[in-house]
Structure 1
Amino acid sequence: MHSIIIIDDHPLIRRGIKDLITIDDSFEFTGEADTGEKGIEIALALQPDIILLDLNMEKMNGLETLQAIKATEIDAHVVILTVSDNEKDIVAALRAGADGYLLKDMEPEDMLKRLHDVIEGHIVLSQKVSEVIIQGLHEEAQNKTRQQATLTRREQQILSLISKGLSNRRIAHKLNIVEGTVKVHVKHLLRKLNLRSRVEAALWVVEQKTQKKNNRA
């Protein structure tokens, strides 16, 4: 059974998520907090498998909380759960190390499926979030040409695995290298391709494959 805590300053949201999680026997709701500071304390004490984190909170916001969590010994999948589909918020959260970005208006069944996916090491996104990122890529392509730099063989391998939704940890395990090495390769390939996050990289690969299919048709 996988443990979940939620950090959100809205009591109704916390109650709703708790009720939803109890439906699935694979998950256990183990704690909640209404501020980032309290959330970090609870996460340190309980060491949950998943942290659901609101983005827009007073005092310590979700992004600040995420950055603080990543700087601790908390080894949890952190998934942003928010109402914001703003591209800047999405990119900032993913750059800060979020393992997913879900919108609060998604269907309950879809949310549970995404939680199962994140446990397996995948980066999870709401459908609308994926669409926002893809639209951003299209708009960027109109303003500047993406550098078609030659990636090394290892960078190509890692890019392919990123496009399948694998986390750095799972990529490292699959390629039998340390996670730190994966992070370095990801940083290099993002810079070469002029992309801002691993999620953009994954969507860019899908976009390139789609364009090739359309060109062949």
Structure 2
Amino acid sequence: MGKIRVLIADDHAIVRAGIRSLLEDHADIEVVGEAGSGCEAIEQTLRLRPDVVLMDIAMRDLSGLEATRAIKAQAPQVNVLALTMHDREEYFFAMLKAGALGYVLKESGPEELLAAIRAVHRGEAFLSPRVTKMILDDYLAQQADRVPSRYNSLTSREKEVLRLAAEGKTTREMAEILHLSPKTVEKHRSSMMRKLGLHNLSELIRYAIRKGLIEVEGD
């Protein structure tokens, strides 16, 4: 059986060098190239035809998300493994939708990365345990939210505050948009958070994405 041909795409040279050093210690893996940007990742993939592309998400000129879409459109036989520092579920789902087969966090140990590369090469999905836990927690939250529907218990004003807060609007900005006083906006926000069982902005954003109230940007 031939070696697994890997292309490393990351905009930090020191990161690429570290990954290359790790992978070259293993006889079943061959690093065939490197890319320092999203555009370069596409070009190198089409030229070298690796088995697996290790894809960072935040890169200059073109995000790993957009590069993954382009690679899967032009070279569908190439499997993409996201290797990133982003542990928010919106990034995971966006990469999965773009065509990535695996998602590994940069904080993961060497054995986890190696296992991910081998699994993705076999056409199997691979997720970092932390990402898996995040998805399970989100699923359980969705189940708890169904009966009764917490969202439906919100007033129309509270739903507006939820959407605007998830979009990053400040209390003052929401007050201007809704023609309310900042104090009234805070009252609606507190009531909305209590009804939904949310405790901070991160949970609020995740809830809004799950409900389809806001969209995830490519970069």
Output the CA distance in 1 between the equivalents of 2:113 and 2:20. Answer: 13
Q: What is the CA RMSD across the aligned residues, in angstroms? A: 1.7
Deviations 1:69-121 (A, max 9, x none): 11103521100000011011111111121110000111101211221112222
| 1:25 alignment counterpart | 27
* Correspondent of 2:93 among 82, 91, 94: 91
Sequence identity percentage: 35
- Indicate if the aligned counterparts of 2:72 and 2:78 stay in contact, CA closer than 8 A: no
- Runs of 4 or more above 4 Å deviation: none
- Residue 62 to residue 8, structure 1, CA distance change in 2 (3 Å): same
The alignment of Structure 1 onto Structure 2 pairs a total of residues equal to: 147
Output the CA distance in 1 between the equivalents of 2:70 and 2:49. Answer: 15
- Normalising by structure 1, what TM-score? 0.65
* Correspondent of 2:60 among 58, 61, 64: 58
Report the secondary structure of 2:6's partner residue. Answer: strand
* Correspondent of 2:12 among 10, 13, 32: 10
Q: Which amino acid aligns with 2:77?
A: D
Could you say which structure has the larger radius of gyration? 2
| 1:43 alignment counterpart | 45
Deviations 1:123-150 (A, max 9, x none): 01111010111111111112226xxxxx
- Indicate if the aligned counterparts of 1:43 and 1:74 stay in contact, CA closer than 8 A: no
Report 1:162-201 matches (<5 A): none
Report the secondary structure of 2:74's partner residue. Answer: coil
Report the secondary structure of 1:29's partner residue. Answer: strand
Output the CA distance in 1 between the equivalents of 2:87 and 2:33. Answer: 26
- Indicate if the aligned counterparts of 2:104 and 2:127 stay in contact, CA closer than 8 A: yes
**Higher mean C-alpha deviation, range 112-121 or range 45-54:** 112-121
Structure 2 residues not aligned, in runs of 5+: 148-209, 213-219
| 1:158 alignment counterpart | none
Report the secondary structure of 2:115's partner residue. Answer: helix
In the alignment, is residue 123 of structure 1 matched against residue 110 of structure 2?
Answer: no
Report the secondary structure of 1:5's partner residue. Answer: strand
Report the secondary structure of 1:25's partner residue. Answer: coil
- Indicate if the aligned counterparts of 1:47 and 1:74 stay in contact, CA closer than 8 A: no
Structure 1 residues not aligned, in runs of 5+: 146-193, 197-217
Output the CA distance in 2 between the equivalents of 1:58 and 1:41. Answer: 15
| 1:70 alignment counterpart | 72
- Normalising by structure 2, what TM-score? 0.64
